[in-house]
A and B are shown apart, each in its own frame.
Chain A
Amino acid sequence: MIELRGLSKRYRGVTAVDSVTLTVARGELLVLLGSSGSGKTTTLKMINRLIEPSSGRVLVDGRDAAEQEPHDLRRRIGYVFQRIGLFPHLTVAENVAITPSLLGWDAARVERRVDELLEVVELDPAGMRQRLPSELSGGQRQRVGVARALAAQPKLMLLDEPFGALDPLTRDRLRQSFVAIRRRLGLTAIFVTHDMTEALLLGDRIAIMEEGRLVQMGTPRELILSPVDAYVEQLMDTPRRQAREVDKLLEPEAR
């Protein structure tokens, strides 16, 4: 479905992404995990050409992304932004309807699609359609953001720390919704995060990036059992150690 070959990005001699090669299969969710500055967001943005690669290739369904019109490419790929990026002058319905309207869908079809999607992201269409983004809570906004990304029925979704700015409970609910939606629609997705727990819970596979390089890629189980270096080991261990600490709180106090 997605293939990155030797993908690199250099800014004035500084290498942000260094020759990343990976493949994502149809229906798979790959998590790009790394600390800030590791190059994971840059890698994601090079896939739909929000950032142009310095070298290397991106193949989407076997077609070279560089040979397609950027806006055509982007209309076929759902993108959920870290900062949500809803258009404040447009209603919820208009925000969701953007990509279909760019594709020239007729009004009735767009309207049906908007209602359908608002239900998918668990928002009440009747109460939500005419609201402005400023009238929504953070969680509601990101649900609209997800609906917008799904609007034109993309087969591929790119998500850039989509739940990063939300409170833990909202974040957890949204993550569960997303897992359900993805299963139902059979989406291929690349999900960027720096949250190890999120990575372990969501990813079919996890690709760990450090200083622009792809350090290790594998299923959560593979990464936990055979980390390539101390950094990966520490990264994989942290959520489990935290879980153990939480469990310990539940044990009867020693006398």
Chain B
Amino acid sequence: MIEQVALLPEYLTAHLQLTLAALLVGTTFSVPAGVLVTRIRWLQAPALGVASVIQTVPSLALLAIMVPLLAALGVQSIGYLPAFIGLTLYSVLPILRNTVTGLDGLDPALIEAARGVGMTSVQQLRRVELPLAMPVIIAGLRTSTVWTVGMATLSTPVGAASLGNYIFGGLQTRNFAAVLVGCVAAAGLALVLDGLVRALASAVERRSRPASLVVLGVIASLYAYAGWSALGTLLDRGRDRVTIGAKTFTEQYILSTILARQIQETTGIATQEVRSLGSTVAFDALRTGEIDVYVDYSGTIWATIMHRDDVPEDRTQVLRAVESHLHEEHSVTLVGALGFENAYTFAMRGSRAEELHIRRISDLTPIAPRLSIGADYEFFARGEWRSIQEIYGLEFAQRRSMDSALMYQAVAGGAVDVITAFSTDGRIAALDLRVLEDDRHAIPPYDAVILASPRLAREQTEVLKALRALSGTIDAESMRRMNLAVDQGGESPNRVGEGFVRALRARRGAP
């Protein structure tokens, strides 16, 4: 818990930066846009329509779609920018709609009076319409504020730090203290910002100049703080440091710590970690140099980057093909293989497998139509699922996609019959699951490999050398043990990773 709270300033600041920037830009756009569409009538339906459509896109998807869109435009596609744009778009509708409603709902007699006393249309707007519509516009701003704070927790998978780091990381590593800290902090922030907007509105309405100034002062200092810290981060980024990425599961968190410690201990170069990246987001981030290094799996590259659906039996053959493809097509360097495979593997509850006499995947073929299968979000969309289905003739009664952290509980509890487990997951043994043999070799090998960005490979060969020293140091059993220590043992991924590097250096007699 203390370890979690120590991260709060960093995550809260990042969250605040995102939220405040998105709300500022959202409001600065939406209020004038609202005014515009009440003057130019024919624009109103299309403008509100577009804003509504944006709103109907699930918020996580809206953020995720920014990544390929920005990448296609050739700008920074991972991290702050996609999160900021997604949040800004999302903040528009409540403010826009309320501005329109507020202005349209004004008593026509008052508008006529404003004209009658000799106001120009700008004076009407500034002196009469906006002040009178203000309570409704403020209500929209408050809705936007609360939404934006909440949605900013979803910035984590696109690589922007936020309070969502607690929630995503905590759910994956079954650290519910972290989830709780993240939720409470986000809720608290939403209440505080909402309260500030409300206080400002009421001070203005009561026409209390001192109260307005105090609230404005607080808001201005929040912006100043966010801006100042953002500037700090920006300047800091110029410094010589290595950025390490991690996808959204326990093993990745442990491995990113291991890479970070190894780099720090061996070269003395500072590192920073960007965790909980979406699977293909991580690769794109590496390719474009927004992260410098992360661990991926040869089979994943084979299937999702190279789009191959054939399955060579030989691990080294796949490794070589992946290495040369990455080098030639993407200028990405395969630094080395860590020594273990984390493959997709079919697993069942031991007793259930016993009862149905199932040892190999091919045993499933005749009874699959009576069984259900659970897998992580991406598995059923991958080419290898289609080829596994073809090779074994599998047709399950039901397919369920779920968070990979939850599928082990699901199969142990009997909610599904089969899962596509990760072979290094400690919970396979801990929950007494039986791994089914891939007797027809339909699943490609999944060697864990360290990948380095073009920039790192070019400019920091000492880092490359430090990482290469990790080749072959982690076998499947060690990885399984480390995963289990986090997932069941309640340890933090950082501590487990640090422990590994310390032990490794001790074995090698490093100083």
Contacts and interface: CB of A to CB of B under 8 A. Distances in A.
Interface of A: 48, 50, 70-75, 79, 81, 83-89, 98-99, 102-103, 148, 152
Residue in B115, B128, B132 with the greatest tally of chain A CB atoms within 10 Å: B115
Residue in A79, A84, A152 with the greatest tally of chain B CB atoms within 10 Å: A79
A79 B112 CA distance: 11
Interface stretch (B118-126, B154-162, B221-229): B118-126
Contact of A99 (B110, B118, B128): B118
A94 B441 CA distance: 85
Q: Chain A at the B interface: mostly helix, strand, loop or mixed?
A: mixed
B106 to A, nearest CB: 10
A99 B116 CA distance: 10
Q: Chain B at the A interface: mostly helix, strand, loop or mixed?
A: helix
B131 interface: yes
A71 B115 CA distance: 7
Contact of A71 (B112, B113, B120, B132): B120
A50 B131 CA distance: 22
A73 B113 CA distance: 14
B120 to A, nearest CB: 5
Nearest to A88: B132
B138 to A, nearest CB: 14
Contacts of A86: 113
5 contacts: A72-B118, A75-B117, A85-B113, A103-B118, A148-B117
Interface of B: 109-110, 112-120, 123, 127-128, 131-132
Nearest to B134: A89
A79 B116 contact: yes
A98 B117 contact: yes
B113 A48 contact: no
Contact of B112 (A50, A98, A152): A50
B118 A71 contact: yes
B118 A87 contact: no
A94 to B, nearest CB: 10
A74 B113 contact: no
A103 B119 CA distance: 10
Contacts of B110: 85, 87-88
Contact of A85 (B109, B127, B131): B109
A98 B119 CA distance: 9
Rank and list the top 5 A-B pairs by shortest CB-CB distance, nearest first.
Answer: A85-B113, A75-B118, A74-B118, A79-B116, A83-B109
A164 B115 CA distance: 21
A12 B123 CA distance: 31
B118 A102 contact: yes
A101 to B, nearest CB: 9
A57 B221 CA distance: 58
Nearest to B115: A50
A208 B119 CA distance: 32
A102 B123 contact: yes
B17 to A, nearest CB: 35
A52 B313 CA distance: 85
A174 B116 CA distance: 21
B118 A81 contact: no
Given A88-B132, A89-B131, A89-B132, A79 B117 contact: yes
A75 B123 CA distance: 13
Contacts of A85: 109-110, 112-113, 116
Nearest to B121: A71
A87 B116 contact: no
A103 B116 CA distance: 14
Given A83-B109, A85-B109, A85-B110, A99 B117 contact: yes
Contacts of A89: 131-132
A71 B113 CA distance: 12
A148 B114 CA distance: 12
Given A83-B109, A85-B109, A85-B110, A48 B116 contact: yes
B179 to A, nearest CB: 46
